[in-house]
């Protein structure tokens, strides 16, 4: 028996899908997780989603769908977390290719459903921006979710729409989502997080990281993204809600507009018309800016001085936690240095590490029993 879980936004949603599968269906069945290879620029320096031609070592599932395996590799300079996820997690990660728009994604879904005959199909979105209209001022990345929503609406099979961690992606406030959320299907706990425990040590997803932290009992204000967006972690943060697919389509103007698109560029044009922008344009602009930055090589003293300054200011803003992605940007480092920064800070101040977040509420004390590196690369 196979479960099919569609990760609406790719990246962190695919990790959350593993946690969802363990919570709802146990560990006996295998899941096929259909996901984008659409990563943040700190993982993949190329804007937009990757297609099958951007990988080596993909394994065929159907004529139009390939699986990313532990032996798959992104073709440089592209980057992807999917091969490592496939190596560490006991599920199949099927690659969605959005280059032919909703028409293409629907064909891939139809093939996969016919081949797998899954016992259930869940469309999972962490945060809830899949329920957006498209014109909300806080919305930042509607296109990926809208493509998946439209394709799942068109596929000839029953699909259940689930929203985990409402509000955690910082796209739509929780109060704006409440009327669209149905019954609570599950509330994640520390036991559920065990299924992705090793992944949380390295995966850069902020929304899924906060979802897991909330399941572990973390509460407070977490600052995320390059802009330092504050996200409140509450008792509602680890919940999973069912939502109705039909009203979601009726509300999501972008999903309706791209319903018959045959290319990603066509879908992008609709996004600019409906939302006023395309998230891939944002990625293109940011990639150009990051590419113009000189390499950074910082010594320990400089890092800790900047960290102390950041933490003091953040505490004054009422912030209790932050993500390592935000810390990397706040300390003026580049994405390639994120993992080095994480290891450096955990070794320097282990009492502030509240996996997978960095706590600002614990007073730093000198750590013992290790030598700290002089330089961070």
Low-confidence ranges of the chain (pLDDT < 50): 367-372
Domain limits of the chain?
2-257, 298-376
Question: What is the per-residue pLDDT for 128?
Answer: 96
**Whole-prediction pTM:** 0.93
Question: What is the per-residue pLDDT for 367?
Answer: 46
Question: What is the per-residue pLDDT for 243?
Answer: 98
Question: What is the per-residue pLDDT for 149?
Answer: 98
Query: Which residues are bridge partners to 129 per DSSP?
Result: none
Question: What is the per-residue pLDDT for 79?
Answer: 95
In this structure, the dihedral spanned by the alpha carbons of residues 50, 51, 53 and 55, taken in order and rounded to 10 degrees, is: 60
- Read off the pLDDT of residues 349-360 as tens digits, 9 standing for 90 and up: 999 999 899 999
Mean pLDDT computed over every residue of the chain: 92
Q: How many Å apart are CA 62 and CA 97, to the nearest integer?
A: 13
Q: How many Å apart are CA 147 and CA 170, to the nearest integer?
A: 20
> Which H or E run contains 240?
strand 239-243
Question: What is the per-residue pLDDT for 227?
Answer: 83
Question: What is the per-residue pLDDT for 30?
Answer: 83
Q: How many Å apart are CA 185 and CA 241, to the nearest integer?
A: 5
Question: What is the per-residue pLDDT for 97?
Answer: 96
- Do residues 130 and 7 touch, judged by C-beta distance below 8 A? no
DSSP code at position 228: T
């Amino acid at each position: 028996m196979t479960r099919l879980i569609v990760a609406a936004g790719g990246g962190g949603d695919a990790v959350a899908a593993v946690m969802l599968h363990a919570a709802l269906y146990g560990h006996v069945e295998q899941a096929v997780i259909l996901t984008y290879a659409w990563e943040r620029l700190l993982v993949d320096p190329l804007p937009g989603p990757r297609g099958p031609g951007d990988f080596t070592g993909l394994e065929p599932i159907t004529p139009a769908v390939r699986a990313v395996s532990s032996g798959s590799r992104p073709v440089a300079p592209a980057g992807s977390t999917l091969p490592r996820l496939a190596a560490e997690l006991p599920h199949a990660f099927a690659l969605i290719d959005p280059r032919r728009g909703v028409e293409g994604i629907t064909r891939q879904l139809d093939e996969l459903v016919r081949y797998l005959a899954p016992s259930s199909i869940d469309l999972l979105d962490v945060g809830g921006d899949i329920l957006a209209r498209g014109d909300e001022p806080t919305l930042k990345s509607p296109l990926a979710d809208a493509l998946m929503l439209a394709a799942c609406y068109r596929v000839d099979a029953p699909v259940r729409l689930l929203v985990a961690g409402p509000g955690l992606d910082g796209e739509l406030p929780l109060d704006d989502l409440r009327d669209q959320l149905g019954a609570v299907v599950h509330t994640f706990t520390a036991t559920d997080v065990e299924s992705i425990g090793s992944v949380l040590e390295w995966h850069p997803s902020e929304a899924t990281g906060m979802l897991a932290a909330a399941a572990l009992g973390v509460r407070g204000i977490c600052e995320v993204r390059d802009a330092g967006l504050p996200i409140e972690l509450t008792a509602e943060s680890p919940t999973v809600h069912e939502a109705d697919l039909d009203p979601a389509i009726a509300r999501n103007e972008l999903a309706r507009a791209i319903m018959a698109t045959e290319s990603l560029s066509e879908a992008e044009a609709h996004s600019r018309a409906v939302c006023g922008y395309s998230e891939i344009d944002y990625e293109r602009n940011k990639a150009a800016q990051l590419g113009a930055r000189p390499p950074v090589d910082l010594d320990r003293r400089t890092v800790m001085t900047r960290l102390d300054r950041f933490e003091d200011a953040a505490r004054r803003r009422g912030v209790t936690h932050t993500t390592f992605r935000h810390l990397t940007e706040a300390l003026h480092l580049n994405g390639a240095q994120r993992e080095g920064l994480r290891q450096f800070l955990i070794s320097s101040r282990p009492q502030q590490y509240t996996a997978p977040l960095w706590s600002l509420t614990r007073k730093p004390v000198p750590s013992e029993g290790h030598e700290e590196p002089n330089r961070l690369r």
